[in-house]
Amino acid sequence: MKKKTGVVVVPICILLLVSLGLFVFSYKETEKMVDYFEGEEQSSIIALVKNQEEVNSRLEKVSNNQSYTFDNAYLELNPYEISPLSGILIYTSKTKEPVELWINDELKTIFEASAKHVIPLYGLFEDYENKITIKNGTKEKTYSLKTEPSHIKYPLEVSQKIENDDEMIFTVASYETWLTGWDKTGRLRFYLTEDLRMDVEWLSNGHFIIGTTQGQFAENFVGFVEMDYLGKIYHQYTLENGYSFESQVLKNGHILSAGGSSPVYIKEQVIYELDLETGKVVDQINLAEVFKAIDPSFNEKYLGQAAIRNGFYYDEKTNEMIVSFRGIDTVFCVDFRTKEMKWIFTSPSNEVFQNEVWESYKVKSSGENYPWGQHSPQITSNGLIAFFNNGYERYRGFEVGGEDLVSAYSNHYSRAEAYEIKDKQANLVWSYDANKELFSHQYGSIRIDELNHKFINFGYVLNKDYRSSKTGRLSESEKNPDHIHAEIIELDENDRVIFKATCEEGKYRAFKHALYESKTAYIDIGNLTYFNTIPADELKETTIKTLSLENAIPWINSLKFSQNTFETDKVMNETDDISFYFINKAGKVYVLQYKEKENMQINRIFHLDLTGSYAFYININGEIYKTNRIIKF
């Protein structure tokens, strides 16, 4: 009896002991993993875009709430929290009905017949009790929406205004104010509190495309968003070619965009056609390849970042595309579809083009007028080549040891120009030089419309007193707006000044566009899609057992991280070896080799194709840092 009991009891005891042991082991392992998973949780999508999901969800509920009616509508100021002079009005009606929107006693637009009304309110006055009136037949209801003062640091001072003009002046400034919109009396009507900038292109639906700056380098961005004046984002594009300076909307709804063979850190300049519906590139031209096909010895430095490809313009009728390479004072023309060079317009003394293979491409100017540090090329509707000629040689600028004292440029001036270029001959047919008083050594833009009105931005004009200073330096003024201002001038078809404004901040570009069309669609609240076409990086896999993470060094520096970008103020050196560790709760580690020791380029764009939550660690030259961040992919 005793023996039988022992046969049963002993294995049970062993089983219990083993189970207890396993339980204790897994408890301890779980405890350890909890230590790794300390810290702040964040999304892998940039906060600017991710935060909108919650707003969309909230407003969607409001729009389905039948208690909001014509007479008791939902009203909210700045719903997306980045556009303080905007608002939203939402209600439902029993039947489909159109509605007129009046803001501050002005009819803005008419919305189509619908039972659900999601009405965007754009262009509110700041620090004002804005009057919002909706009208439907005989029904009318007025609401009030109070805005706060903007305290915008650099207002637009309008010296020659246009009354009762619905068109706004939009300006883009890298320094402080980013994208702003002003009416033609100089009143601020739109601004964003997030850093989005460079070119702005409007789509047929009234939205616009603008660059997102997280991960940016030298005004080269990883992509752009489609946005409206509420600051609502509809689509985020994170692109394998990145995006910098310029886009152009095509008639087929696609967009041409400038970027590089790789995003942000541009080694070869590329301009590509993007299908906005799919995020796919359908055509592209690699400008470096075009140049190298003609001249294999061409200095590669000027086919990448140093080209400063600050603008292009595509003529859909002829397939001709003109491109501005400010870094080498050159405007050139290519056939976008056949990828062939057609001509180059640059000073004969430009040493970059001294190889005789370029002779057959060179355009000669009849009056010794050539591009100098130029911006904003355009092919006008009648085939002229227009650009903003800054008026000084950028190639031999102070950046490479050229003249830095402003006094050396006392006779220089900038002007907007239009050339007829035919049979490799350029004739200057139009120019505007503001009496040779304005020298804008950076920035600047020109657009000539079908009515032959010219909209000119002298974007970075050295102030008169500074120009006469003996110690003033271009290098100082380029970074700091103390001694500069911008002048925005509109000319009619007879070159009469019909609008003029100044601002003490440098303006990269200025545009004209209305806030509303005569008929406007309601906001599609739920719409937010992400396109990411950057190829996924290969990740190595290991486990936490192979890494010594227990005594990791706390990361004390700033850290901005997304699925594609990494920014920090920690000093990183060219010879550093940097890896990222992403640890999941099972203890598996995915490793991204961010930078090899031999690769002198410190930063890059990447694409992490992961799902789930991961504790984020960084290894720099064998020193492992704990970031206290949990990244949710």
Partner 1 sequence: MKKIIVSVIGVFIVGLLFIGTIGLHVENKRVINNETQEFNTFLTNFLQACQKFSLGEKGEVKVIADYKGAHGESLPHEFQYSFLNLNTELLFESEAGYTMLFADQEILYFLTKEYRVPKEAFKIKNEVRKNTYELDVENFNKEMNTEYQKGEISFSIEGKLRKKIKKITVTLDDIIYTWEDDKLTINQKGNETLILKNSNGYSLSYNNDAKINLFANTEVRADIVMKQYSYSFEKVGQEIRVTMNTPASIYNRLELIFIAKEVEIKKEKVADDKANPIYRYFDEIKGE
Which residues of this chain interact with partner 1, rule CB under 8 A?
175, 217-220, 305, 308, 327, 399, 442, 475-476, 478-480, 548, 551-554, 556-558, 569-571, 623-624
What minimum distance in Å lies between the beta carbon of 444 and partner 1?
A: 13
- CB nearer to partner 1: pick between 375 and 412: 375
Assess contact for 400 and 299: CB atoms under 8 A.
no
Q: Are 501 and 440 in contact (CB under 8 A)?
A: no
Other beta carbons less than 10 A from residue 116's beta carbon: 14
Helix ranges (DSSP H) in 425-571: 464-467, 474-479
Structure tokens at 109: 């637009």
The answer to whether 379 and 313 have CB atoms below 8 angstroms apart is: yes
Smallest separation (angstroms) from partner 1 to the CB of 561: 16
Q: d(Cα 182, Cα 514) in Å, to the nearest integer?
A: 10
In whole angstroms, the minimum distance from the beta carbon of 379 to partner 1 comes to: 24
Q: Which residue, 204 or 551, has its beta carbon nearer to partner 1?
A: 551
Nearest to 124 by CA among 54, 36, 183: 183
Nearer Cβ to partner 1 (70/325): 325
Give the DSSP letter of residue 85.
T
Three-class secondary structure assignment of 196-207: EEEEEEECCCCC
Name the 3-class secondary structure at 580: strand
Q: Using the minimum distance from each CB to partner 1, give the nearer residue, 97 or 404.
A: 404
Query: In the bound complex, what is the minimum distance in angstroms from residue 575's beta carbon to partner 1?
Result: 14
Sheet (strand 375-379) strand order: 364-365, 425-432, 415-422, 385-389, 375-379
Contact 266, 242 (CB under 8 A): yes
Q: What is the largest CA-CA distance in the chain?
A: 120
Minimum gap (Å) between residue 301 Cβ and partner 1:
12
Nearest distance from C-beta of residue 149 to partner 1, angstroms: 21
Nearer to partner 1, 35 or 148 (CB): 35
Q: How far is the CB of 225 from partner 1 (least distance, A)?
A: 22
Q: How far apart are CA 493 and CA 496, in angstroms?
A: 7
> Which of 438, 443, 389 has the alpha carbon at shortest distance from 418?
389
Residues 6+ apart with CB under 8 A from 65: 74, 92
Please give the DSSP secondary-structure letter assigned to residue 240: E
Tokens representing residue 539 in the block = 């990740």
Helical H segments across 37-91, by residue range: 47-63
> From its phi and psi, is residue 527 left (phi > 0), alpha (psi between -120 and 50) or beta?
beta
Q: How far is the CB of 33 from partner 1 (least distance, A)?
A: 18
CB 85, min distance to partner 1, A: 24
Token readout for 153 is 């640091």
Other beta carbons within 10 angstroms of residue 613's beta carbon come to 16
Q: Toward partner 1, which CB reaches closer, 164 or 558?
A: 558
Residue 342 or 394: the one with the smaller Cβ distance to partner 1 is 394
CB of 247 to partner 1, least distance (A): 18
Integer angstrom CA distances of residue 261 from 274, 285, 562: 14, 10, 21
Closer residue to partner 1 (CB): 120 or 327? 327
Neighbours of 528 (CB within 10 A): 18
- Give the whole-angstrom CA distance, residue 517 versus residue 483: 39
How far is residue 578's CA from residue 602's CA, in Å, rounded to a whole number? 9
Closest to 323 (Cα-Cα) out of 288, 365, 281: 288
Q: Which is nearer to partner 1, 9 or 553 (CB)?
A: 553
Tell me if 489 sits within 8 A of 434, measured CB to CB: yes
Q: Which is nearer to partner 1, 478 or 537 (CB)?
A: 478
Q: With respect to partner 1, which residue has the nearer C-beta, 52 or 213?
A: 213
**All residues at 6 or more sequence positions from 244 whose CB lies less than 8 Å from its CB, including other chains:** 198, 211, 219, 220, 221, 258, 259, 260, 266, 309
Token pair listed for 420: 């007829």
**Residue 356 Cβ vs partner 1, minimum distance, rounded to whole Å:** 30
Smallest distance from partner 1 to CB 56, Å? 32
- Measured from the CB of residue 175, what is the shortest distance to partner 1 in angstroms? 7
Q: Kindly state the smallest distance separating residue 226's Cβ from partner 1, in Å.
A: 26
Residue 554 beta carbon to partner 1: minimum distance, rounded to whole angstroms: 5
Cβ distance to partner 1 smaller for residue 284 or 305: 305
Where in 560-622 does DSSP place strands (E)?
Answer: 560-561, 566-567, 578-583, 588-595, 613-620
Nearer to partner 1, 147 or 330 (CB): 330
